[in-house]
Amino acid sequence: MSYPDFIFFMLSEEDKSSEGALKYWFNCCDLDGDQVLNPEEMKHFYRHQIHRVTSLGQESINFQDVLCQMVDMISPKDANSINLADMLKPEKRLISGVLFDILFNLHKFMRFETRDPFQEKIRREDSFQSDWDRYAHIEYNRLAQEEEDGCVYTESTMDVVETMQTQQQQQQQLKDAEIQYQQTLNGFEQLSNWTLSDDDDEDHHHRNNNTNTTNTSKNNKHSNKA
């Protein structure tokens, strides 16, 4: 692959909403060159995705379910064949690229399956005019962070860093909960000690009263005998 080919591939991979990218991936999938994508052609590429998913120990999704999902998204005139015109319709162009993520990019496919609707809404309403602009902004910030920290952050290492940060937050929350629990126990013990101390004082006072009463009674008896 030459450098210009690599640039065109990157543009097509990171921004599948553009007309050039959709044409690029459509031609990759159109194995027989009849200008339509049929279920057999899509299944040919999806088999590789199933192999990647099972290799990672994840549960695979049946191709018929995936095909039904793709047909529902793009709404082609013929459910058994998707042509480029179907994907380039203005109301479908922004989501048509998901079909090629499902067939080629496992990471983006899994991210699509576990997407957060609220985050998707924020992404659609941000200031970037295209997915490529968003990708370039993220990569620029990543490279700047690498230069500042002196280490290389790949997509996988970023996931590891996020996981470690989440674990640290969970451990800190657990420590805070343990401290709060211990403080609560200490409060109960202190309250119990106060209660016992009050009971002991009351009991001691009661015994003193009984002793005084007994002594008074004895003195009265001695006085009567005298």
State the average pLDDT over residues 43-60. 85
How many C-beta atoms lie closer than 10 Å to residue 15's C-beta? 18
Helix, coil or strand: residue 151: coil
Q: Can you give the pLDDT at residue 193?
A: 67
Helix, coil or strand: residue 83: strand
Strands 82-83 and 36-37: antiparallel
- Which residue type occupies 62? N
Helix, coil or strand: residue 17: coil
Which of these, 23, 9, 155, lies nearest to 84 by C-alpha position?
Answer: 23
Looking up tokens 């690498």 gives 146
Going by pLDDT thresholds of 50, 70 and 90, the confidence category of residue 24 is: very high
With a cut of 70, say whether residue 81 has pLDDT above it.
Answer: yes
CB 21 within 8 Å of CB 12: yes
The residue length of the chain stands at 226
What integer best gives the mean pLDDT of the chain?
A: 76
Q: Can you give the pLDDT at residue 92?
A: 87
% of residues, the chain, pLDDT over 90: 12
State the average pLDDT over residues 74-85. 89
- Of the listed ranges 21-25, 81-85, 216-220, the least confidently predicted one is 216-220
With a cut of 50, say whether residue 72 has pLDDT above it.
Answer: yes
Looking up tokens 């049946």 gives 62
CB 126 within 8 Å of CB 134: yes
Angle at CA of residue 67, ends 114 and 32, nearest 5° = 125
Q: Based on the number of CB atoms within 10 Å of its own CB, is 122 exposed (0-12), middle (13-18) or buried (19 or more)?
A: exposed
CA distance 3 to 208: 101
Q: Can you give the pLDDT at residue 15?
A: 85
With a cut of 60, say whether residue 202 has pLDDT above it.
Answer: no
State the average pLDDT over residues 102-130. 76
With a cut of 70, say whether residue 5 has pLDDT above it.
Answer: yes
State the average pLDDT over residues 18-22. 89
